[in-house]
């Protein structure tokens, strides 16, 4: 059946329109009510939340790095200070045309391609008002050149701040260490502390700068800035000043430290001087060394390669991490052990050039005839200590050695220390179980005892341990080495007879002031005498009658010397180790003589040093610069200008006494305008393996 089509009339159309309008209107009304309700909820319930979010978008807090605390010597003379410097940063949200501005900056500041690439990479991840470092520690002339061009370089922010400076340069490199920008691991280790990624902020990377970081760091300041929604700076609202880090007074005498470092010349080794009554370390030089100013400013790859390839290991702290066979420097210790075991020091041994043990002959360096303990120490007779050491055994020797600090680890604020060993029977058995390829048999043999009695064989120690041994023998007290200046009760006496100690001291007096092995190193001072003991240690086994007195540098014998002075009333003690120096009397004892002379007569010691440096080719800084230029030339590269230029003269008003030099690494004076000053508490108060042939 055909469907009927309804008629469309005016009334039907009006009805349809009205119905649709009501549906749409209802929908609109509901949506409006929903929006109004939501708006009311946001306005009433979440007012504080969105107010805070709005404030955070409007205001930004920028950290201001704190000034690092000074490191000063025992007399308040600065060793590590802060000097004014200049830097250039980029503010990402103010930078309108980076492809134009960055090349312009690179030309003005003479940036290399690697630095330019770094800037572009950091800009990609930068946001807000967080600066991106372009260059730091730049000369004032470059800073001024950037400043006058600011109108044409929006987003560039030249700033004046502070950087670390070490007036004595390489002389304190291994002692103080250096600072540098925090890496990813250090940043995460401090729970992503924002201060560590603030441009211009650096943390301790080595030495005392690292171990005393929290004391030296200080508390950061802050700037409260008003910015637009796009992050553009409107104005600076307020500033909270930073709180400088605490000063760090050391037991070190910085003049003595610098003198010892310079006196070692082109040699590789260590010099340690202690106050043998208190244990204060007055000098702890390891040479050659790096200049901490270079590391703190950022060392280049080529210069790093030069240092790491040097066979004299300028990157190694030889005082704490260098381990050496001590050779005959241990004979005074052995003398105490012999007496404690019941050996009469007047008992004699005949030296015909060596000692026969079974089918093996242990050589002496001479034919000394009949010798007692005093004579054996003075002439460094191996035969005497072979025979007597065999009598008392290794465990008796080892007990005294450890009591005098040998093979021991000291409680010092240092990054690391290798403490080596003075062995005993239990030690050899343990080592055999751990490494049977190194130790041939687990039982201790008599030949092991003979070698240990003269500081060879398994015996290996660091220079600080030798200095502590000398200090304890000289004072008769169980002094502990200290680096931080503080008052301490007197050290307890050693558990040994004063008469036994005096026998050994008289033998050490004879070494220098009689016809002993270091007679050429007698102090050139009226009424002041030095006692000591030389040592020459082989670094490899040499067949036949040959010794390590020639050939390649790395195969020559080490030269060692332990000492104390004055012998009448000991105040100072220490050790000198010269790597591959051929002998203790030849290389190490003359250094000790001049270092002690400096403590008693500075002008005389400085006069001798100036003459020596003429033959060496100048001061430490001059020789290092010449070496660096030669290395760069050998690689076909121009040597870069030192960072900082005239940016800040390093200065300090504290400190008395001068070695008569301008320092090892730069200017040794800082004007108050060029550096922040320490608090009054900063100033310290002056304190009243193989082989068996040694000599």
Question: Which residues partner with 356 through β-bridges?
Answer: 361
pLDDT at 118: 86
**Over 50: is that where the pLDDT of 661 sits?**
no
Report, as an integer, the average pLDDT of 582-587.
91
pLDDT of residue 13: 63
Sequence-ordered list of residues with C-beta below 8 angstroms from that of 444, at least 6 positions apart, any chain:
394, 424, 425, 428
Structure tokens at 361: 């002959």
Has residue 454 got a pLDDT over 70?
yes
Mean pLDDT, the chain, integer:
84
pLDDT value for 156: 87
Place 663 in a pLDDT band, splitting at 50, 70 and 90.
very low
Per-residue model confidence (pLDDT) at position 655: 36
8 Å CB contact between 247 and 281: no
What does pTM read for this prediction?
Answer: 0.81
What local confidence, expressed as pLDDT, does residue 422 receive? 96
**What mean pLDDT comes out for the span 370-375?**
96
**Minimum mean pLDDT range among 54-63, 353-362, 444-453:** 54-63
pLDDT computed for residue 486 by the predictor: 93
Q: How far apart are CA 601 and CA 593, in angstroms?
A: 12
pLDDT at 537 over 60: yes
For the stretch 302-322, pLDDT in tens is: 889 999 999 999 999 999 999
pLDDT in tens, 84-126: 888 888 888 778 888 899 999 999 998 888 888 888 888 887 7
Mean pLDDT of 216-226: 82
> How far is Cα 549 from Cα 561, in angstroms, rounded to an integer?
17
Min mean pLDDT across 290-294, 298-302, 423-427, 460-464 is at: 298-302
- Rounded CA-CA distance 235/336 in Å is 75
**pLDDT score at 615:** 93
Burial code of 290-321, b = ≥16 C-beta within 10 A, e = fewer? bbbbbbbbebbeebeebbeebebbbebbbbbb
* The pLDDT value given to residue 524: 95
Query: Which of the two residues, 556 and 3, has the higher pLDDT score?
Result: 556
Q: Report the pLDDT value the prediction gives residue 138, as an integer from 0 to 100.
A: 86
pLDDT of residue 689 exceeding 90: no
In whole angstroms, what is the distance from residue 283 CA to residue 408 CA? 20
Architecture of domain 257-300+316-616: 3-Layer(aba) Sandwich (3.40)
**CB burial readout 390-405, b (16+ within 10 A) else e:** bebbbebbbebbebbb
pLDDT of residue 53: 52
pLDDT grade for 256, boundaries at 50, 70 and 90: very high
User: Residue holding tokens 């210790």?
Assistant: 333
CA dist list (Å): 355 to 363, 445, 480, 547: 6, 16, 37, 18
- What pLDDT does residue 337 have? 97
What contacts 63, CB < 8 A, 6 or more positions away? 194, 195, 198, 201, 220, 221, 222
pLDDT at 315: 94
**Per-residue pLDDT tens over the stretch 459-485:** 999 999 999 999 999 999 999 999 999
Provide the terminal-to-terminal Cα distance of the chain, rounded to the nearest Å.
Answer: 135
Query: Is pLDDT at 505 greater than 70 in this prediction?
Result: yes
In sequence order, the 6+-apart residues with CB closer than 8 A to the CB of 678 are 69, 70, 72, 78, 247, 654
Can you give the pLDDT at residue 157?
A: 84
Q: Where in the chain is the domain with CATH 3.90.1310.10?
A: 61-249
pLDDT value for 385: 97
Query: What SS3 state is found at 683?
Result: coil
> Of the ranges 178-182, 605-609, 658-662, which is most confident?
605-609
The predicted pLDDT at position 55 comes to: 54
pLDDT at 437 over 70: yes
CATH (residue range 61-249)? 3.90.1310.10
Q: Cite the residue boundaries of each domain of the chain with CATH code 3.40.710.10.
A: 257-300+316-616
What average pLDDT does the segment 39-52 reach?
62
Q: Mean pLDDT over residues 359-383, rounded?
A: 95
How sure is the predictor about 683, in pLDDT bands with cuts at 50, 70 and 90?
A: very low
- Quick one: average pLDDT of 445-456? 95
Which of 2-16, 181-195, 278-292, 379-393 is the least confident region?
2-16
Question: Can you give the pLDDT at residue 542?
Answer: 52
Taking alpha carbons only, the member of 573, 647, 636 closest to residue 293 is 647
What mean pLDDT is predicted for residues 56-61?
Answer: 62
The answer for residues whose C-beta is within 8 angstroms of residue 343's C-beta and 6 or more apart is: 373, 388, 391, 392
Residue 239, pLDDT > 50, answer yes
pLDDT for 432 equals: 84
């Amino acid at each position: 059946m055909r469907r009927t089509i309804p008629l469309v009339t005016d009334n039907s159309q009006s009805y349809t329109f009205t119905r649709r309008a009501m549906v749409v209107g209802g929908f609109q009304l509901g949506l409006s009510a929903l929006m109004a309700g939501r708006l009311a909820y946001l306005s009433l319930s979440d007012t504080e939340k969105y107010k805070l979010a709005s404030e955070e978008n409007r205001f930004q807090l920028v950290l201001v790095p704190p000034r690092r605390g000074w490191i000063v010597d025992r007399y308040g003379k600065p060793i590590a200070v802060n000097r004014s410097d200049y830097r250039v940063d980029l503010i990402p949200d103010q930078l309108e045309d980076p492809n134009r501005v960055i090349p312009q900056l690179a030309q003005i500041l003479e940036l290399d391609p690697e630095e330019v690439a770094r800037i572009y990479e950091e800009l990609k991840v930068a946001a807000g008002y967080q600066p991106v470092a372009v260059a730091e520690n730049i000369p004032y002339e470059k800073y001024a050149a950037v400043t006058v061009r600011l109108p044409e370089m929006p987003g560039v922010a030249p700033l004046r701040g502070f950087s670390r400076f070490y007036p004595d340069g390489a002389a304190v490199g291994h002692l103080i260490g250096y600072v540098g920008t925090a890496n990813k691991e250090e940043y995460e280790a401090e729970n992503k502390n924002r201060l560590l990624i603030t441009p211009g902020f650096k943390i301790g990377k080595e030495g005392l700068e690292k171990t005393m970081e929290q004391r030296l760091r200080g508390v950061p300041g802050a700037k409260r800035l008003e910015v637009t929604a796009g992050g553009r700076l409107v104005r600076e609202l307020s500033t909270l000043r930073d709180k400088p880090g605490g000063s760090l007074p050391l037991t070190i005498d910085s003049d003595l430290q610098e003198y010892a470092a310079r006196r070692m010349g082109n040699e590789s080794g260590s010099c340690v001087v202690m106050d043998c009554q208190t244990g204060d370390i007055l000098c702890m030089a390891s040479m050659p060394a790096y200049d901490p100013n270079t590391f703190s400013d950022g060392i280049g790859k080529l210069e790093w390669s030069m240092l790491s390839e040097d066979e004299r290991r300028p990157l190694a702290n030889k005082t704490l991490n260098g381990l050496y066979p001590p050779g005959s420097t241990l004979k005074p210790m052995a003398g105490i052990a012999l007496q404690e075991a019941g050996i009469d020091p007047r008992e004699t041994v005949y030296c015909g050039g060596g000692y026969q043990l079974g089918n093996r002959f242990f050589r002496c360096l001479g034919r000394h005839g009949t010798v007692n303990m005093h004579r054996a120490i003075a002439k460094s007779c191996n035969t005497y200590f072979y025979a007597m050491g065999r009598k008392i055994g290794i465990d008796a020797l080892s007990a005294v050695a450890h009591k005098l600090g040998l093979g021991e680890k000291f409680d010092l604020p240092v990054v690391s220390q290798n403490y080596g060993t003075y062995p005993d029977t239990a030690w050899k058995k343990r080592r055999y179980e751990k490494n049977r390829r190194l130790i041939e048999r687990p039982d201790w043999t008599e030949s092991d005892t003979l070698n240990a009695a003269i500081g060879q064989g398994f015996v290996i120690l660091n220079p600080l341990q030798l200095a502590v041994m000398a200090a304890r023998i000289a004072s008769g007290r169980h002094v502990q080495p200290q680096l931080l200046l503080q008052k301490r009760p007197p050290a307890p006496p050693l558990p040994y007879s004063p008469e036994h100690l005096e026998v050994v001291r008289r033998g050490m007096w004879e070494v220098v002031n009689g016809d002993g092995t270091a007679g050429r190193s007698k102090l050139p001072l009226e009424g002041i005498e030095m006692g000591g003991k030389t040592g020459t240690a082989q670094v490899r086994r040499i067949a036949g009658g040959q010794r390590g007195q020639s050939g390649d540098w790395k195969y020559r014998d080490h030269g060692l010397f332990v000492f104390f002075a004055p012998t009448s009333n000991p105040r100072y003690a220490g050790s000198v180790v010269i790597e591959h120096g051929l002998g203790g009397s030849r290389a190490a004892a003359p250094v000790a003589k001049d270092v002690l002379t400096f403590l008693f007569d500075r002008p005389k010691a400085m006069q001798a040093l100036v003459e020596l440096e003429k033959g060496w080719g100048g001061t430490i800084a001059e020789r290092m610069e010449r070496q660096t230029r030669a290395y760069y030339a050998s690689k076909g590269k121009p040597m870069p200008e030192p960072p900082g230029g005239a940016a800040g003269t390093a200065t300090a008003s504290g400190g008395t006494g001068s070695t008569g030099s301008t320092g090892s690494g730069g200017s040794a004076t800082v004007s108050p305008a060029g550096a922040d000053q320490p608090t009054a508490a900063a100033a310290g108060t002056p304190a009243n393996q193989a082989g068996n042939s040694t000599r």
